Chains A and B, each alone.
Chain A
Amino acid sequence: MSISCEFDYAKPDTLRDALGLLARHAPHGAVPLAGGTDLVAWLRDGAVSPGFLVDIKELAELRGIRRKAGHLWLGANTTFAEIMASPLVRRHAPILAEAAGMVASVGVRNRATIGGNICSAVPCCDSGPALLVYDAVIHVATLGGARRIPIRKWFLNPRQTALTQGALVTGISLPVAKHAGAFAKLKRYRGEDLAQASVAVRVDARGDWRVAYGSVAPTPIRGPKVERLLRGDLKPSSARRKEAAAVAETEVAPITDIRGSQIYRRLMVGVMLRRAVHLAAARRAGRGPAYGTNILEEDAP
């Protein structure tokens, strides 16, 4: 494999140094490099041509999974494999752990980071819908100080986020609360694939439902209409689930491309929503299959 674009490379030891390098080399198009699973492929394709790569892989400030002050904190450099394996994530953010298990392949999951995933911000990003239903907060560092950006204000457009030039995501925090949920991903086969469409649902002890979709709009989006429809219903009936599915189909705006037609994506959002709501309700009641099953490939609940 050859990369035709020429760039300089540095691997700073501290967050401060990394921010300094990004600022200093901003005129040369400095970009951070974490897992590299997107960036290196884009470099190879000639889709990007940065003049400077700041390798942030080993920054201690960006590592670790911790519980603190009612929140679960994930360092930006946490890989999807680490998310899948973390008892803390599995306990406090099982929908994210379920989504992590459906990201690409084993090799990519060992390398790709959650910070990179939300910064690449492609419409099919698997972590997006899960973070949306958790009302996650993105922690950002700049030379001027730290900022916090709610996930709902994070995704602006395909490959465009609220992150400003020269800033770095340091981590993501999720409020800890008792809940259940499910993540469903429509793929072209069982192997690694980008989502043709995805759905995340979360329900808490009061029957407060949160719903989010991936690959069916320019960014991952929340599903407010379905959330309103289901509010307070801890055990949505089959009729209610069907109704919710029909509403879900109306609140997404997929496109037709080679990965799937608009109509198919829309219809499958309905099927996934219905199955995911059923599964989430079952899991909340202590039933249903363990987290980590793709309800589109396994048996329908």
Chain B
Amino acid sequence: MSAKRVIGTAAVRVDGMAKVTGAAQYVDDMEFGPGLLHAVLVESPHAHALIRKIDTAAAEKAPGVVRVVTGKDIPYMFGLYMQDRNIFARDRVRFVGEQVAAVVAETPGAALRAAKLVKVTYAPLPAVLSLDEALKENAVLIHPDLGNYLRVPWFFPRPGTNIAHWRKTRKGDVEKGFRQADYILEDTYTVPRYAHCPIETHAVTGLFDLSGRLTLWASSQSPYAQRGVMAVALKPFGLSHRDIRIVTPYVGGGFGGKAGVSMEIIGAVLAIVMKGRPVKLNWTREQEFMNTSQRQGVIARIKMGVKKNGQIVALEHTLHWDAGASAEYGANVVNAVGLSATGPYRIPNVKIDSVCVYTNMPPCGAYRGFGYSEFHFGLESHMTRIAQAIGMDPVQFRKRNAIREGDTLAYGAHMNPGNLRGAIDRVAKEIRWGKKDKSAKPGKAVGKAVACFWKAPAMPPNAASAAYLKFNEDGSLNLCVSGMEIGQGFLTVMAQVAAEVLTVPVEKIRVETPDTDRNSYEWQTVGSHVTWGCGNAVRAAAEEVKARLLATVARAKFLKVEDLYLADECVKSRKDRKFALPFRSFVIDGIMRSNGNFIGGPIHGTGMFMPEFTSALGDPETSQGGHPNVHYTVGAAGIVLEVDKETGKMTVRKAVLAVDVGQAINPELVKGQIVGGLVQGLATALFEDIRYDANGRLLNPNFTDYKIPTTLDCPAEIIPIILETPQPDGPFGARGVGEHTMVACAPMVADAIDNAIGIRLKTMPLTAEKVALALRGIDYDSVKGDTLGFCFRGKPCDYRFEVGGH
């Protein structure tokens, strides 16, 4: 009965062959015939301005132009968690690059030329480009109508200010905690904005057919969430969910940037306006940087108190986030951090204030790690520094305070299983922590570090998954789910879950990318939750199919269900070793009895999953009382870093990451996540360096000056380590892993630099230039010129964390 297990094996990717041969289709590859129209946008050159007039006359007369659309035609707002984003700017623009109008033409060139003919008259307003400006009393308001926006109940915007959300978490008594502390360290850390940089830019083609049906082919992580957001925003056009169909072919990288809705809604309204003809809108690389979403910049103040014995007794963590001109998604990042900014540590007294601030920079939203990378930079740097200050080994210090199953979290719920201390040990051993390495090369120093991480999916409490599984005549199956294959191997893992239950080879299960008309519901492919959530739904669907297989055979053959089992694509009997009925012999056509009648019929099954134990209804002043997170995945990472003491150039000799995934359904894919996450995380630490000018214009929306790593820039050696402490409510014990693998990267680089050359950097990124200057006693902030990485100027240590009127 011990069938060959598929779970835990390195099944070959179901999408692998199509991708390596170029057969895989992406939105821009799809053909829509000669009727296809092309759209190009007119964008704001101002960070903040009133729109006085839009003159479209010249553009409308230009050759090849069929229509020019402005906010006057489409005066609607949208948003996933809060409706604060305009489909087209109406009375005002709020960031450089915001869409003001669209030109629809017969060719891309005609649209591009005509877009230059649209004349927009602006009256510039003072732009809010620093957090203290945004938060001062009587600040210029970016969203005067904030109080009227539709939003989810767990956001607490403050109308009349630029605060989109303020998450407060209070546990114990921090003042008392600090009084008990033998040592207190307080400092400020900054993390600038980052861009996702998917290889495929956003793309959408929309068709509003003559029957009034809207279909969008979109590069998206969230077809159902898109349908939901659009059904709300496009209600004035008389559309409802049933009228909207989202088809998402393969996606060339998401990283959170293709979660929710951004430019796709422009494609939707242009299609509606051009009823009967498909309209295509592809983002340029510049637009990909400026007008999708970025990772939010943050300045964070950390005050931590410890006892001499290494026990953390109190943590005060205040974070002010630059959310940009829209916080419809970004406020949920701020929310997630506000609940979890203790990191994976048991701390009795906690005060967290995570404040989401509107500014006149491009909107921010989900980015792999969802705020955790940002707060871990400060927190994990702080952990090492405070351990050093009390004379304790930073690795021992982390183990001493590591969170354990059953611990009370900052918001009162209890910690799920997870082997953090085991992860720390494995990583420390792998980098030979405690042994000081010397570089063989003159002028170079070697540093090491170990940093911990945790992360939970940030989901609404009713985020659900569903699956539909149906047999074909040849005993193969179609599995219809709506999680997205964004490179992580989702399709393969879902096939493995079904294969395990049904004893069918993975390659006989066809899982494809979603179409909301055909595939079952999925909330979104975000938060590293789909293996867990959708995996549970697929398992349930497979169990239903299994029950039908057994029942059909039992009925047709006059056997008892409890004597039957599945093995090798057959129904077999415990009572009769020779009995084996292949699935393909009956799953569609049924089983013939001796008198010629058939029993059974097409076998299919459905499954669903919703985390019914969660709740977002915590107390707004303390966050106590809810159960906002389903589970945390914990782990540790380590690095061996070589630093050139003249140039500051750094070489990652070795990167190690251990993560407790509960159960690796496909260990090779988990390793892929570890390698990919480390490379991406190390890039944010070492290379990526976004710059805005003093007027809020992005200066490097390109790979000439925004550097993501090439193969030459990857670590010399990466060691992935998988730990498996089962998650009781996960499919076969699995819990989420994906984003986690980049979360510890920045602090471990900062710690390794300190370990190598005794220099503590507290502002990201940690470039060679910063290191080289610091080695010569030069503060980078004083020589970098007046460009900004996020809405912050000046020295972090001078920032007051004041909020006007509060």
A contact set with B: CB distance below 8 Å: 2-4, 6, 186, 188-194, 256-264, 267-268, 271, 296-297, 299-300
B691 located at the interface, meaning its Cβ lies under 8 Å from any Cβ of chain A in the complex:
yes
Residue pairs across A and B with Cβ atoms less than 8 A apart, 13 shown, are A188-B687, A189-B687, A189-B712, A191-B712, A257-B785, A258-B691, A260-B769, A261-B783, A264-B769, A264-B773, A268-B647, A271-B647, A297-B649
- Determine whether the beta carbon of A256 is less than 8 Å from that of B116: no
Minimum Cβ distance to chain A for residue B695 (Å): 15
Q: What is the bound-complex CA distance between A194 and B783, given in angstroms? A: 21
B787 located at the interface, meaning its Cβ lies under 8 Å from any Cβ of chain A in the complex:
yes
Q: What is the bound-complex CA distance between A260 and B784, given in angstroms? A: 8
CB neighbours of A194 from chain B (8 A): 704
Mask, B652-669, CB within 8 Å of A = 1, is 000000000000000000
B67 located at the interface, meaning its Cβ lies under 8 Å from any Cβ of chain A in the complex:
no
Known contacts A189-B707, A189-B710, A258-B787: A267-B699 contact under CB 8 Å: no
- Determine whether the beta carbon of B108 is less than 8 Å from that of A2: yes
Q: What is the bound-complex CA distance between A4 and B113, given in angstroms? A: 5
Q: What is the bound-complex CA distance between A296 and B769, given in angstroms? A: 13
Of the listed residues A257, A267, A271, the one surrounded by the most CB atoms of chain B closer than 10 A to its CB is: A267
B577 located at the interface, meaning its Cβ lies under 8 Å from any Cβ of chain A in the complex:
no
B401 located at the interface, meaning its Cβ lies under 8 Å from any Cβ of chain A in the complex:
no
Q: Which of B644, B707, B778 is the one whose CB lies under 8 Å from A193? A: B707
B563 located at the interface, meaning its Cβ lies under 8 Å from any Cβ of chain A in the complex:
no
CB neighbours of B649 from chain A (8 A): 296-297
Mask, B705-724, CB within 8 Å of A = 1, is 10101101100000000000
Q: What is the bound-complex CA distance between A134 and B699, given in angstroms? A: 36
- Determine whether the beta carbon of A189 is less than 8 Å from that of B772: no
- Determine whether the beta carbon of B784 is less than 8 Å from that of A261: yes
- Determine whether the beta carbon of B704 is less than 8 Å from that of A300: no
- Determine whether the beta carbon of B776 is less than 8 Å from that of A2: no
Residue of A nearest to B704 (CB): A194
Of the listed residues B108, B649, B713, the one surrounded by the most CB atoms of chain A closer than 10 A to its CB is: B649
- Determine whether the beta carbon of B709 is less than 8 Å from that of A189: yes
Q: Which of B108, B443, B776 is the one whose CB lies under 8 Å from A267? A: B776
CB neighbours of A267 from chain B (8 A): 772-773, 776
B780 located at the interface, meaning its Cβ lies under 8 Å from any Cβ of chain A in the complex:
yes
CB neighbours of A264 from chain B (8 A): 769, 772-773, 783
- Determine whether the beta carbon of B644 is less than 8 Å from that of A191: no
- Determine whether the beta carbon of B647 is less than 8 Å from that of A188: no
CB neighbours of A190 from chain B (8 A): 710, 712-713
- Contacts A259-B705, A296-B649 aside, 17 further interface pairs with beta carbons under 8 A come to A2-B112, A186-B647, A188-B687, A189-B686, A189-B707, A189-B710, A189-B712, A191-B709, A258-B699, A258-B705, A261-B773, A261-B783, A261-B785, A264-B769, A268-B772, A299-B444, A300-B444
- Determine whether the beta carbon of A192 is less than 8 Å from that of B691: no
- Determine whether the beta carbon of A191 is less than 8 Å from that of B707: yes
Q: What is the bound-complex CA distance between A259 and B710, given in angstroms? A: 18
- Determine whether the beta carbon of A300 is less than 8 Å from that of B644: yes
Residue of B nearest to A5 (CB): B113
Q: Which of A3, A4, A256 is the one whose CB lies under 8 Å from B785? A: A256
8 A-B pairs with least C-beta separation:
A191-B710, A190-B712, A4-B112, A2-B108, A256-B785, A258-B691, A261-B783, A299-B441
- Determine whether the beta carbon of A300 is less than 8 Å from that of B705: no
Q: What is the bound-complex CA distance between A248 and B713, given in angstroms? A: 29
Minimum Cβ distance to chain A for residue B713 (Å): 5
Mask, B669-693, CB within 8 Å of A = 1, is 0000000000000000011010100
- Determine whether the beta carbon of A262 is less than 8 Å from that of B707: no
Residue of B nearest to A190 (CB): B712
CB neighbours of A2 from chain B (8 A): 40, 108-109, 111-112
Q: Which of A191, A271, A300 is the one whose CB lies under 8 Å from B442? A: A300
B767 located at the interface, meaning its Cβ lies under 8 Å from any Cβ of chain A in the complex:
yes
B700 located at the interface, meaning its Cβ lies under 8 Å from any Cβ of chain A in the complex:
yes
B473 located at the interface, meaning its Cβ lies under 8 Å from any Cβ of chain A in the complex:
no
Residue of B nearest to A1 (CB): B284
Known contacts A2-B109, A191-B712, A193-B707: A258-B700 contact under CB 8 Å: yes
Minimum Cβ distance to chain B for residue A186 (Å): 8
Interface residues of B in 73-131 (CB under 8 A from A): 108-109, 111-113, 116
Q: Which of A4, A258, A300 is the one whose CB lies under 8 Å from B109? A: A4
CB neighbours of B686 from chain A (8 A): 189
Q: What is the bound-complex CA distance between A258 and B789, given in angstroms? A: 11
CB neighbours of A259 from chain B (8 A): 705
CB neighbours of B108 from chain A (8 A): 2
Minimum Cβ distance to chain B for residue A9 (Å): 15
Minimum Cβ distance to chain B for residue A8 (Å): 15
B646 located at the interface, meaning its Cβ lies under 8 Å from any Cβ of chain A in the complex:
yes
Mask, B169-188, CB within 8 Å of A = 1, is 00000000000000000000
